[in-house]
């Protein structure tokens, strides 16, 4: 047990090698999923002018203070204000302006009476002819149905912080504030290698002793999910020259990180070790982690290199534990990962390594309950397919007893 390296110490060492990547100007159309390199400060209010939140009539609230359906107040309709227009005169006492949602509130008016609270019946509101008079059926308080400048965003406000992952709502606010270009962090390029004589591509027919390469595809998707650009390199055979060739190809892709899977466990590490010692320098670690004990880390031609375990679940979990935080650091990105606490619904056993158990989550009697997805074999990829989260059993724990509470890293 004592010779195993702690997850946290290993991660600290690795993160020490990662620095934020440079800034890249990005068009708004290309900004989805990217990470902001700088704070976004509003250049103007949103809304930038007082406007109506309803189709109706802009009025002076004092004029209609006593309006009821039984004794309506009649006003003279003095102008029409469609959205996009700018009223050129004020609403005076006894007057109303027909106004559409989003149109500017004219001077003099301080409230909007929705058309439904008048005698006017617009079928096609925008194109109905303007009537001369309108009967108001309901009092409107000052400010009713008016959206004031800066209600949503104030000029000078720091609306988005550097490190924010740009989602659809962030795109919306950037567009609304006139940012046609945004300073994003250059996405990390990640070269992904698979190795093993048994590996076939997904479109190759199965043959005796062969399996299809899952890791390079799953890892590429994980890279994308975490804001990076994956570059998959063709599979290396268990052959020194082929491994050399593929490692050179990986370097030619000009990556910020190189990930390979398989060939790091005892008994299989020799070929990889030889090539890594020629082309860089790598340590073979035994991590206090389950799944995912073997991990190689160092550099290949000066580029940070991860040798992840070959079993697909181990590859995905070691990615999550070690590579994902590196991508976030390269991006300067806030970690959006959510961890919750869940009650264990059934005993889960492990061997005292920090364990990431694949669990399904459900609500039972108002409590979040975690149950394993079934087999926890590190080769059973469906345990990841089924998992809502990873239940984390800390180092030294061999039994999570039903009823106890543990942290769970939410996967979905």
Q: Is the peptide bond before 122 cis (omega within 30 degrees of 0)?
A: no
- Tell me the closest approach of the beta carbon of residue 379 to ligand AMP, in angstroms: 6
Cα of 218 vs its chain's centroid, Å? 18
211 binds ligand AMP (CB under 6 A): yes
d(CA 114, CA 123): 14
Q: Are strands 229-232 and 189-194 parallel, antiparallel or unpaired?
A: parallel
318 binds ligand AMP (CB under 6 A): no
198 binds ligand AMP (CB under 6 A): yes
Name which of 262 and 275 has its Cβ closer to Mg ion: 262
Name which of 40 and 315 has its Cβ closer to ligand AMP: 315
Binder of ligand AMP out of 263, 291, 304, 307 (CB under 6 A): 263
- Tell me the closest approach of the beta carbon of residue 286 to Mg ion, in angstroms: 18
Let me know: does 354 contact 289? Beta carbons within 8 Å: yes
Q: Which of ligand AMP, Mg ion, none is residue 384 near (CB under 5 to 8 Å by kind)?
A: none
Residue 123 forms beta bridges with which residues?
Answer: none
Sign of the Cα torsion 399, 402, 403, 407 reads positive
The residue sitting closest to ligand AMP, measured at its beta carbon, is 310
d(CA 295, CA 266): 11
Give the footprint of Mg ion on this chain (CB under 5 A): 196, 262, 268
The upper half-sphere exposure of residue 384, i.e. CA atoms within 13 Å in the direction of its Cβ, equals 19
Question: Which distant-in-sequence residues (6+ apart) come within 8 Å of 233 by Cβ?
Answer: 191, 192, 193, 216, 246, 249, 250, 253
- Tell me the closest approach of the beta carbon of residue 266 to ligand AMP, in angstroms: 9
312 binds ligand AMP (CB under 6 A): yes
311 binds ligand AMP (CB under 6 A): yes
Helices 7-15 and 324-331 sit at what angle, rounded to 10 degrees?
A: 30
- Tell me the closest approach of the beta carbon of residue 271 to Mg ion, in angstroms: 9
The upper half-sphere exposure of residue 17, i.e. CA atoms within 13 Å in the direction of its Cβ, equals 18
Closest C-alpha to 325, from 185, 207, 188: 188
Q: Which of Mg ion, ligand AMP, none is residue 312 near (CB under 5 to 8 Å by kind)?
A: ligand AMP
Residue span binding ligand AMP (CB under 6 A) among the ranges 37-45, 56-64, 191-199, 349-357: 191-199
The upper half-sphere exposure of residue 186, i.e. CA atoms within 13 Å in the direction of its Cβ, equals 11
Let me know: does 360 contact 388? Beta carbons within 8 Å: yes
Q: Which of ligand AMP, Mg ion, none is residue 214 near (CB under 5 to 8 Å by kind)?
A: ligand AMP
- Tell me the closest approach of the beta carbon of residue 272 to Mg ion, in angstroms: 9
Q: Please count the residues of this chain forming the interface with ligand AMP, following the rule CB under 6 A.
A: 19
Binder of ligand AMP out of 51, 118, 194, 355 (CB under 6 A): 194
Name which of 24 and 268 has its Cβ closer to Mg ion: 268
- Tell me the closest approach of the beta carbon of residue 197 to Mg ion, in angstroms: 7
307 binds ligand AMP (CB under 6 A): no
Interaction site with ligand AMP (CB under 6 A): 194, 196, 198-199, 211, 213-216, 261-265, 268, 309-312
């Amino acid at each position: 047990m004592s010779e195993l390296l702690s997850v946290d110490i290993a991660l600290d060492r690795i993160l020490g090698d990662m620095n934020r990547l440079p800034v890249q100007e990005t068009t708004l159309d290309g900004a989805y999923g990217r990470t902001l390199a700088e704070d976004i400060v509003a250049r103007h209010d949103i809304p930038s002018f007082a406007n109506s939140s309803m189709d109706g009539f802009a009025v002076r609230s004092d004029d209609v203070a006593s309006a009821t359906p039984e004794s309506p107040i009649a006003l003279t309709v003095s102008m029409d204000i469609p959205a996009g227009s700018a009223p050129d005169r004020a609403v005076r006492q006894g007057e109303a302006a027909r106004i559409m949602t989003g149109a500017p509130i004219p001077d003099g008016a301080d409230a909007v009476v929705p058309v439904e609270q008048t005698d006017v019946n617009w079928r096609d509101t925008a194109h109905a002819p303007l009537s001369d008079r309108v009967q108001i059926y309901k009092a409107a308080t000052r400010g009713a149905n008016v959206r004031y400048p800066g209600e949503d965003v104030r000029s000078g406000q720091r609306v988005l912080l550097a490190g924010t992952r740009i989602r659809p709502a962030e795109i919306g606010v950037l567009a609304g504030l006139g940012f046609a270009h945004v300073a994003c962090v250059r996405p990390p390029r990640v070269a992904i290698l698979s190795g093993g004589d048994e590996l076939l591509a997904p479109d190759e027919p199965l043959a005796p002793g062969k399996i299809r390469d899952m890791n390079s595809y799953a890892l590429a998707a994980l890279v994308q999910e975490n804001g990076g650009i994956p570059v998959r390199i063709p599979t290396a055979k268990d052959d020194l020259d082929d491994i050399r060739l593929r490692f050179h190809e990986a370097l030619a892709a000009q990556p910020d990180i190189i990930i390979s899977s398989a060939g790091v466990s005892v008994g299989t590490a020799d070929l990889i070790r030889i090539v890594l010692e020629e082309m860089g320098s790598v340590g073979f670690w035994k991590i206090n982690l389950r799944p995912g004990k073997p991990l190689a880390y160092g550099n290949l031609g000066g580029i940070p290199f991860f040798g992840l375990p070959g079993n697909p679940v181990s590859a995905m979990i070691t990615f999550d534990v070690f590579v994902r935080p590196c991508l976030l650091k390269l991006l300067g990105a806030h970690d959006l990962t959510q961890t919750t606490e869940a009650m264990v619904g059934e005993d889960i056993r492990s061997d005292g390594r920090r364990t990431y158990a694949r669990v399904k989550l459900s609500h039972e009697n108002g409590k979040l309950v975690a149950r394993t997805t079934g087999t926890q074999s590190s080769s059973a990829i469906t345990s990841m397919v089924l998992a809502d989260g990873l239940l984390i059993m800390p180092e030294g724990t061999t039994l999570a007893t039903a009823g106890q509470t543990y942290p769970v890293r939410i996967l979905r």
